[in-house]
C-alpha cells in the first residue's frame, strides 16, 4: 500500500513540476523578447524598415509603369510589381503612381504594407503649395507609441513638394 501511495505522489509531483518549468520558460522567453525590442532592437528594426521604404519609394518600381498593371481591388495583381513613386528616368514623383498607391492603401492597407515590405505601420504625406496627400494609416489617429520619420524634398510635375515617411507602431514592445 505504501508503494502505491508513493508512486501516485511522485507522478503528481512530476506533472506539476513539469508544468511549472514549461510555464516559467514561456514567461522568460516572452519577457526577454519584449525587453530586447524595447531596449533598441525594435527601434533599429523600425529604422531599417524606414530606410528600405524610403529607397523603394524614391525608385521607379518594377515595371516602371506598374500603376497601369495593378487592379486596386485585386490584391493578386499587386504581387507582380515592385512599388516606386518616381517616374522613369527622372527624379520627379509620378502623380499616377502616388494616386495608385493611395488607392491600394485605402482598398487593403494590410496588403499594401506587405507590398511595401513594411512590418510596422506606415504613413506617407506629400505636401506641396496647393495639395496635401496622406497615404497609409495616420499615427496620430492610432495613438502611436513609437515613430521613425524621414522628411525628403521631392518634385511632382516640376513643382517642389515635401514627402514625409513615417514608420510607426502603437504596441509597447515593437512589431505587432
> For residue 119, is it within any domain?
yes
d(CA 65, CA 87): 8
161 and 154 in contact (C-beta within 8 Å)? yes
> For residue 111, is it within any domain?
yes
Grid-cell match 513594411, residue found = 118
> For residue 174, is it within any domain?
no
Residue 63, pLDDT above cutoff 50:
yes
Reported as a single tens digit per residue, the pLDDT across 104-136 is: 999 999 999 999 988 889 999 999 988 899 999
Reported as a single tens digit per residue, the pLDDT across 8-49 is: 778 888 899 999 999 998 888 777 766 655 555 556 778 888
| Confidence band, pLDDT 50/70/90 cuts, at residue 146 | confident
> For residue 158, is it within any domain?
yes
**In terms of DSSP bridges, do strands 92-93 and 61-62 run parallel, antiparallel, or are they unpaired?**
unpaired
Reported as a single tens digit per residue, the pLDDT across 89-108 is: 676 899 999 999 999 999 99
* pLDDT, average across residues 84-88: 86
> For residue 176, is it within any domain?
no
Residue 155 burial class via C-beta count within 10 angstroms: exposed 0-12, middle 13-18, buried 19 and up = middle
> For residue 10, is it within any domain?
yes
Q: Can you give the length of the chain in residues?
A: 176
Q: Is the pTM of this model over 0.85?
A: no
Residue 27 belongs to domain spanning: 2-169
> Domains in the chain: how many in total?
1
Using DSSP's 3-state secondary structure scheme, residue 73 falls into coil
88 and 62 in contact (C-beta within 8 Å)? no
What residues contact 94, with CB distance under 8 A and at least 6 apart?
67, 85, 86, 87
Amino acid at each position: 500500500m505504501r508503494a502505491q501511495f508513493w508512486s501516485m505522489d511522485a507522478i503528481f509531483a512530476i506533472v506539476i513540476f513539469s508544468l511549472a518549468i514549461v510555464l516559467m520558460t514561456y514567461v522568460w522567453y516572452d519577457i526577454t523578447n519584449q525587453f530586447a525590442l524595447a531596449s533598441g532592437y525594435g527601434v533599429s528594426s523600425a529604422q531599417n524598415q524606414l530606410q528600405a521604404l524610403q529607397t523603394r519609394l524614391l525608385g521607379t518600381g518594377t515595371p516602371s509603369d506598374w500603376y497601369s498593371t495593378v487592379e486596386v481591388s485585386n490584391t493578386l495583381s499587386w504581387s507582380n510589381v515592385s512599388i516606386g513613386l518616381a517616374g522613369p528616368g527622372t527624379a520627379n514623383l509620378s502623380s499616377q503612381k502616388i494616386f495608385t498607391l493611395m488607392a491600394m492603401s485605402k482598398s487593403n492597407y494590410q496588403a499594401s504594407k506587405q507590398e511595401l515590405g513594411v512590418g510596422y505601420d506606415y504613413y506617407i504625406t506629400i505636401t506641396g503649395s496647393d495639395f496635401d496627400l496622406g497615404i497609409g494609416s495616420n499615427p496620430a489617429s492610432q495613438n502611436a507609441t513609437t515613430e521613425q520619420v524621414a522628411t525628403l524634398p521631392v518634385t511632382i510635375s516640376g513643382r517642389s513638394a515635401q514627402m514625409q515617411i513615417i514608420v510607426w507602431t502603437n504596441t509597447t514592445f515593437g512589431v505587432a
